[in-house]
Amino acid sequence: MSRPRVAIVGAGPAGLAAAASLERRGVPAVILERSSQIGSSWRGHYERLHLHTARTLSDLPGLRFSRRLGRWVSRDGVVAYLESYAERHGLEILLDTEVARIDRQDGGWLLSTSRGQHPAEQVVVATGYNRTPYLPEWNGREHYAGVLIHAAAYREPAPFRGKEVLVVGTGNSGAEIAVDLVEGGAARVLLAVRTPPQIFPRQALGVPTQLVGICLRRAPVPVGDAVAAMLQRVLVGDLTRYGMPKPERRPYSDFLLRDVVPILDVGLIELLKRRAVEVVAGVEAFDDGAVVLADGSHVTPDAVIAATGYRRDLEPLVGHLGVLATSGRPAVHGARTHPDARGLYFIGFTNPISGNLRELGIQARGIARAVSASGAAA
């Protein structure tokens, strides 16, 4: 079997961007995708989801988003864009092909897939920052009689109309789902907060907040903290009077320490001020029909939606190669490769404040330059 130049694992935005960037440099690439469609994670998101980054700052290399999609592109708009992107660049994609393990072989790589062995000279892993939903092992959860789902399984608010719902987690998904539930007719919406989030409006005076993130990307920490804190004070104000605890650290320092992007608000602030979303303590356990909170109180929601994050799950794929940090993320990413795994690249495993799609484009172009320079096109 001849060895393809570059194999890319994953046909989401990261994998598509990497393949297109390689092809534009004359480096043949094939994408291996475990699902039956490209952009499968985007297809599974909740219906009201829109990009929290501006359309004009979210293009992948080689194709702009259409202006017809508006400033904040919808979930369906992103899916349509990814389909057009793959078609425009003529990308070779093998669907229904799950990669289980990557091993070294004869100076290159061997991918063990659901369709057999697949050799490649170089490999780009683009399986996604949010690959596997994480649901905490709360004590007693198996006896909870209400609905308990991860946010990945949430689609729209209709099933929760007239019900009391507890949303656990204060990332962008948890915040937006809480808004969706209120607007969709839930009788009561509780938001469980363990670590107080940093919150900013998605835009101010017509300017996307993403631009601030881009400007602060390489700023000294004191400068980033001062600018972000000033914007937060002016644009958001004090939310403690509405039950939201104050974050322990200043905004930029908090991001650098926890690697959690702020909430870019699409309605939560207003609902907090209207008391339409009630903040409660973090979840500790389940007790029959009740949820036990960190402050010792109990609530009895009809449903719990856990916006509790995801895991990268890279260990089965590459854990044996010594390329992962203790966090489970790649020790190096983008255009660099690990000294013990030359020719193995990772894209999309950062959590940037400057916009995920924008950074994917930067990483994809960097990987294409590095692969081309290494002689993979020869």
Provide the CATH number for the domain around residue 84. 3.50.50.60
pLDDT score for 347: 97
In angstroms, the Cα distances linking 101 to 95, 114, 360 are: 17, 10, 23
Residues 21 and 75 in one domain: yes
pLDDT digits (tens, 9 = 90+) for 9-23: 999 999 999 999 999
Number of C-alpha atoms within 13 angstroms, CB side, residue 120?
28
Domain count, the chain: 2
Give the pLDDT score at 257.
84
Last residue of a domain, one of 306, 333, 351: 306
Q: Are residues 150 and 252 in the same domain?
A: yes
Residues 282, 322 within the same domain:
no
Rounded Cα distance, 360 and 86, in Å = 15
Evaluate if residue 110 carries a pLDDT over 50.
Answer: yes
Q: Are residues 78 and 109 in the same domain?
A: yes
125 plus 247 within the same structural domain: no
| CA-closest candidate to residue 298, choices 192, 195, 196, 197 | 192
Residue 170's nearest CA partner among 146, 194, 144 is: 194
Q: Pick the more confident residue, 4 or 360.
A: 360
**Same domain (yes/no): 172, 92:** no
Does residue 378 sit within a domain? no
pLDDT in tens, 70-90: 999 999 999 999 999 999 999
Taking the C-alpha atoms of residue 29 and residue 99, their distance in angstroms, rounded to an integer, is 16
Question: Mind listing the pLDDT tens digit for each residue in 358-373?
Answer: 999 999 999 999 999 9
Clarify whether residues 163 and 99 are in a common domain: no
Confidence category of residue 378, pLDDT binned at 50, 70, 90 = very low
Whether residue 341 sits in one domain with residue 243? no
Q: Where are the alpha helices (DSSP H) in the chain?
A: 13-24, 40-43, 75-88, 172-183, 210-216, 221-235, 251-258, 268-273, 315-318, 356-373
**Structure tokens of 331?**
């020790």
When pLDDT is cut at 50, 70 and 90, the band that residue 4 belongs to is low
Domain holding 162, by residue range, is 133-306
Angle between helices 251-258 and 221-235 (to 10 degrees): 120
Residues 342 and 267 in one domain: no
**C-alpha distance from residue 215 to each of 72, 101, 212, 227, 281 (Å):** 20, 39, 5, 10, 34
97 and 59 in one domain?
yes
Query: Among positive and negative, which fits the CA dihedral 220, 225, 231, 232?
Result: positive
The mean of the pLDDT values for the chain is: 93
Q: What is the pLDDT of residues 156-207, one digit of tens each?
A: 999 999 999 999 999 999 999 999 999 999 999 999 999 999 999 999 888 8
Same-domain check for residues 15 and 140:
no
With beta carbons less than 8 A apart as the criterion, state whether 256 and 221 touch: yes
Clarify whether residues 104 and 234 are in a common domain: no
Share of the chain above pLDDT 70, in %: 98
- Which among 306, 334, 359 is the end of a domain? 306
pTM: 0.92
Last residue of a domain, one of 247, 276, 306: 306
